[in-house]
A = this chain, B = another copy of it.
Amino acid sequence: MTTVGLVLYPQFTALDIIGPFQTLVDVPGLDVFFVAAEKGLIVDHSGKCSLEASRSFDETDSLDIVVVPGGFADRNLDNSNEVVKFVKKIHPTTTWTTSVCTGSIYLAHAGILNGLTATTHWASYDRLKALGAVPSEQRVIKSGRIITAAGVSSGIDMGLELVAVLYGDEMAKTIQLAIEYDPQPPFDAGSPSKVSPEFKSFVQGIFDNPNR
């Protein structure tokens, strides 16, 4: 079985990790599980969603695929952060190291995005750049064996691309039809380039609010 470790940590964002989870978990041959510093319940950024990690970082010495979600805990990280340490430990063992949203901030802190084109939540491009990566407004970016995806919902697109890379287009299309992924957003406001500068600044302000 190909092992897929989906990382959890306090203040993760739920859809960041459930998007990839749902594209991967029913694929034959993949052993998908949630992994965190400690086993047990991990609470998301809203405080309303608790997901169970079935493995600890300590008992996970290698993974074929790792997925690091974003969340609200990635400011003022340092090298003692458990997720950063886990990425440093696990990346040399993986076939694919991946992130969704500000999960790439952990990858950057682990030193594996230096000089690489990568993405993150649009409101965090500057932070990613300050950590040595080259931010780009793309939905999913493959740089060698590292894949980074944009904010929150982009993990669904990344997950399907990963399935295609691993098992071919037919398998990815099977999953896409199974999860009826034929998105029809009611508005066309899902990326910063599609809204007014004023509206973008307003939403950026929400993310920059230190009270969050």
Contacts and interface: CB of A to CB of B under 8 A. Distances in A.
Interface string A178-208: 1111111111011110110001101100110
A126 interface: no
Contact of A187 (B139, B140, B160): B160
B183 A195 contact: no
Nearest to A15: B22
Contacts of A194: 182
A156 B153 contact: yes
A172 B187 contact: yes
Interface string A27-63: 0000011100000010000101111101000000000
Chain A interface, DSSP helix/strand/loop, else mixed: mixed
Most B C-beta atoms less than 10 A away, residue of A14, A150, A189, A206: A189
Interface residues of A, number: 63
Contact of A186 (B21, B121, B152, B157): B157
Contacts of A178: 151-152, 203, 206-207
Interface string A125-160: 000000000000001100000000011111011001
A116 interface: no
Most B C-beta atoms less than 10 A away, residue of A19, A41, A177, A192: A177
A177 B157 contact: no
Given A139-B182, A164-B186, A177 B152 contact: no
Given A22-B152, A51-B51, A180 B172 contact: no
Nearest to A22: B15
A186 B156 CA distance: 10
B153 A173 contact: no
A11 interface: no
Interface of A: 13-15, 18-19, 21-22, 25-26, 32-34, 41, 46, 48-52, 54, 101, 121-122, 139-140, 150-154, 156-157, 160-161, 164, 169, 172-174, 176-187, 189-192, 194-195, 199-200, 202-203, 206-207
Given A41-B52, A153-B181, 18 more contacts: A15-B22, A15-B156, A15-B179, A49-B52, A101-B180, A150-B180, A151-B179, A152-B181, A157-B184, A160-B186, A174-B202, A176-B185, A176-B190, A177-B199, A179-B190, A181-B185, A181-B190, A182-B191
